[in-house]
Amino acid sequence: MCLAVPMKIVSKDGDNVVAEVDGVKKEANVMLLGEEVAVGDYIIVHAGFAISKLDEEYAEETIRLMQDVFSTEDMA
């Protein structure tokens, strides 16, 4: 099963970016998107490639909901 998580771009060098969520950073290539992205944009990363660009409000709400669902308190 794959779980797509919104990540915020923290650095960009050509088609390569580093994106972060909750302190976890991943490298990704954005050449498949077909649209420009910049530092601060949110993307979905799968297998090292950005597959979608997301609206900031939608991405932040999704991250908040995922944090609620996967909180460590629920795991105890």
DSSP state at residue 69: H
Q: Is 28 left (phi over 0), alpha (psi -120 to 50) or beta?
A: beta
Inter-residue contact 48 to 32 (CB < 8 Å): no
- pLDDT for 5 beyond 90: no
Query: pLDDT grade, residue 30 (50/70/90)?
Result: very high
Average pLDDT over residues 3-25: 93
What proportion of the chain, given as a percentage, has pLDDT over 90? 71
pLDDT digits (tens, 9 = 90+) for 37-73: 999 999 999 889 999 999 999 999 999 998 888 875 5
Domain boundaries, the chain: 6-75
CATH architecture label of 6-75: Roll (2.30)
Provide the residue count of the chain.
Answer: 76
Collapsed DSSP state (helix, strand, coil) of residue 64: helix
